[in-house]
Amino acid sequence: MSETWIIFIAEPDQPGWENRKLPMGGLTDILDEQWDYTSTGAKPKIGDRLRQFLQVEEFIDPKFPGSSTHVREGDWVISRVEEYLPGGDDSSKKAIILCYCRLDPIISPLEPLSRASQEIESVGGLGR
């Protein structure tokens, strides 16, 4: 199965770098990753915002205690996009897309996630 790997990266000199840590403790500029298994060809665009998934305590479903309950438009905005296509026919990726982002805080409303969204998230389904 072919997939597109989408990586969201903070532009250089963006604030909050000291809080972006890898599981082993090293610092990273990676904000998020997504995997697209569809064939729609929809790609992130300059000006798109990363969505921020949050957990509001009173809405936690005991069946899925680690799942997000709400989503909002996030503070990171895509400022440039680079796409890398595979060089051979045996590649497992259709493309690798790097989305560079800048911090542009906004106030946006929280939207509740449906139970189906929580179930997909709890099993590591759709990328964010």
Q: What is the pLDDT along the chain (128 residues), one digit of tens a residue?
A: 578 899 999 998 888 877 788 888 888 899 999 888 887 767 899 999 999 888 787 787 778 778 888 889 999 999 999 999 887 777 767 889 999 999 999 998 888 887 654 444 544 444 44
Give the largest Cα separation in the chain, rounded: 50
pLDDT at 67: 83
| Residue 44 · residue 34 · CB < 8 Å | no
pLDDT at 80: 97
Question: Using CA atoms, how far apart are residues 19 and 106, in angstroms rounded to an integer?
Answer: 20
pLDDT at 43: 87
pLDDT at 57: 77
What Cα–Cα distance (Å) separates residue 14 from each residue in 31, 38, 51, 74?
Answer: 11, 32, 18, 15
